[in-house]
Amino acid sequence: MKNKKLNILLSAPRGFCAGVERAIEIVEKSLKKYGSPVYVRHEIVHNKYVVDDLKSKGAIFVEELEEISDKTRPVIFSAHGVPKHVSIDAMKHNMEYVDATCPLVSKVHREAENLNKLGFHLILIGHKNHPEVIGTMGQLPKGSIDLIQDENEAENYSPKIKDKIAYVTQTTLSVDDTINIINVLKKKFPNIKEPVKEDICYATTNRQKAVKNIAQKCDMFFVIGSRNSSNSVRLVEVAQKSGCVESYLIHSESVIPFDKINNCETIGVSSGASAPEILVNDFLDKLNQKYQLEIKEVEIIKEDIVFKVPKKLN
């Protein structure tokens, strides 16, 4: 018998952003147009459920083009973007490719290229080895862009060229942490050129604002998402810094900590930009088996952004 009442504050917006929806649609439309198999370089988005679903429909995931034995089959580049050499390699092999890079990541790529052409030495604020960072750094000649991951690295940064530097950022960073890094850089380099429009994407910003809005009212906070999803991990950090220390990521192998939830009155729930809503519902269903749920969705902004898929797939 469910005798404990549990209040759920459901953060909104949450889950899929326009870039993720577009990337998944590109794989599905490619399978429809070309038949299976269709190859995808790197996980199309960082979510096991999504990747497994697309595998079941005929997508084959690889990390590099060399792994594709049948080069007559099309390949899709993931939403995180790829270094320039990847599309050049695909052309060398006469491969049909579809670029599912999120348009907001492509914007950062173009920005970096333009600044490089204008003679600026670039700083990229981001996380080492994240595919988006590898893709952005791979747009420019080696040595013309440096990665800075935190305030400490910003403090100790000493570029070869000091009079003409600019920065761009990964799109899925913590808004607050990034502002702190930027402030350090601006103090050190008063003439540093910043992006015309900030690079952290609307979806990352909105999801972080929504979590901040409810975190301090919660005894525990759960973010549904993958461990390798940068924006999901950042949401957990945002919840912790906003007053809910007991904030956790719920991924495909997570065990729900019912022993801790038993002591809670209110818990918060959100999901990363690559986590489908079905995973949020699964989590709520598991809670519903043990508690009387009182669910309240707290929405701070409506999202209506849609990105079109490439014309050749329509």
User: Catalytic residue numbers?
Assistant: 132
Q: Do 313 and 97 meet the contact criterion of CB atoms below 8 Å apart?
A: no
3-state secondary structure the chain: CCCCEEEEEEEECCCCCHHHHHHHHHHHHHHHHHCCCEEEECCCCCCHHHHHHHHHHCEEEECCHHHCCCCCCCEEECCCCCCHHHHHHHHHCCCCEEECCCHHHHHHHHHHHHHHHCCCEEEEECCCCCHHHHHHHCCCCCCCEEEECCHHHHHCCCCCCCCCEEEEECCCCCHHHHHHHHHHHHHHCCCCECCCCCCCCHHHHHHHHHHHHHHCCCCEEEEECCCCCHHHHHHHHHHHHCCCCCEEEECCCCCCCHHHHCCCCEEEEEECCCCCHHHHHHHHHHHHCCCEEEEEEEECCCCCCCCCCCHHHC
